[in-house]
Amino acid sequence: MTPIEILFPLIFLVLTGYLSGKTGFIATTQLEGLRRFIFYIAIPVFLFLNMYQADLGKVASPQLLLTFYIPVLTCYLLILLTKWLNDKKARAEAAMWGLGGTYSNTVLVGLPVIIAALGSEAGSLVFMIITFHSALLFALSFLFSSNRSGSLTETLKPLFINPIVLSITTGLLFNALYIPLPKLLYSGLEWLAKPAIAGALFVLGVSLVQYSIKRAWKSALMLSATKLFVLPAMVYGFADWLQLSEMHTAVLTLMAASPLGVNAYLVARQQQCSQAALAASVVISTILSPFSISVWLYILI
């Protein structure tokens, strides 16, 4: 399966949503209802089930985790500081930019590419490494983008009550404490989770009608270049310096080279800042990813 075959459904859903909004088939009043269902119900349930099912007993070695997360955190902080130093009042935007340059669409894009290129054994490594991927980057983004003029409780409140972070934390807690879910409840949650990714991509497409892509394309292109080339280059260089095996290096690099995940846009939507830049970044990085992933596959394999 080629990268284009893997990515086409994602691009197709975004374009379908965009055309639905552009033609007026989905009205603004209807869009808000769709957003609330996707953001407050479907996506949280999807993340909860993924964390609940994660095999915590097979967490990757500290060396693998550090090889992936040190470059990710370094890149996040570099983007954040660069944006923040250029505009002292743009701390929230800087946090969203950091997220936009580092958050990967690993499940929808990275995992299929890795399995196709390296086999199912490499695919199992992915889930070991990304167990804390969303929780870590979302937590940092909410922490840096919150209003620090208030108390510590007010600063941390958006982090703990946000449906995305809350669902990830709850899923990990249920997993770690071996709390069983009744079969019927689990089946119902699975049905609620099914429209999460497709619905998020569709809502993203509809939402693009409200934003000026022409105004945000420069920022989106810069974030996309960072996400598709700079971050994976940092991971690849760090893995090579630590002399990891070829398979481990390839898995980590391809994970980092995945395009920006749609959940980053949802976080920006929740925080009400940099929405246009991140929405455009999701689309541009996804469209460019067949080329960038092909380049990395050539380098790695």
Summarize pLDDT for 85-124 with one digit per residue, the tens. Answer: 888 778 889 999 999 999 998 877 888 888 888 887 787 7
Torsion over CA of 15, 21, 24 and 29, rounded to 10 degrees?
150
State the average pLDDT over residues 270-277. 84
Contact 63, 80 (CB under 8 A): no
Q: What is the pLDDT of residues 50-93, one digit of tens each?
A: 888 877 776 668 888 999 999 999 999 999 999 988 887 788 89
185 confidence band (pLDDT: 50, 70, 90): very high
**CA-to-CA distance for 80 and 96, rounded, in angstroms?**
8
Q: Note the CATH architecture for domain 3-300.
A: Up-down Bundle (1.20)
Beta bridge partners of 104: 260
Q: Which residue has the higher pLDDT, 151 or 25?
A: 25
Residue 250 structure tokens: 């390839």
Q: What b/e readout covers 21-41, taking b as 16+ CB neighbours within 10 angstroms?
A: beeeebeeeebeebbebbbeb
Q: What tens digit of pLDDT does each residue of 218-262 get? A: 889 999 999 999 999 999 999 999 999 999 999 999 999 999 988
Q: For the chain, how long is the longest CA-to-CA vector?
A: 54
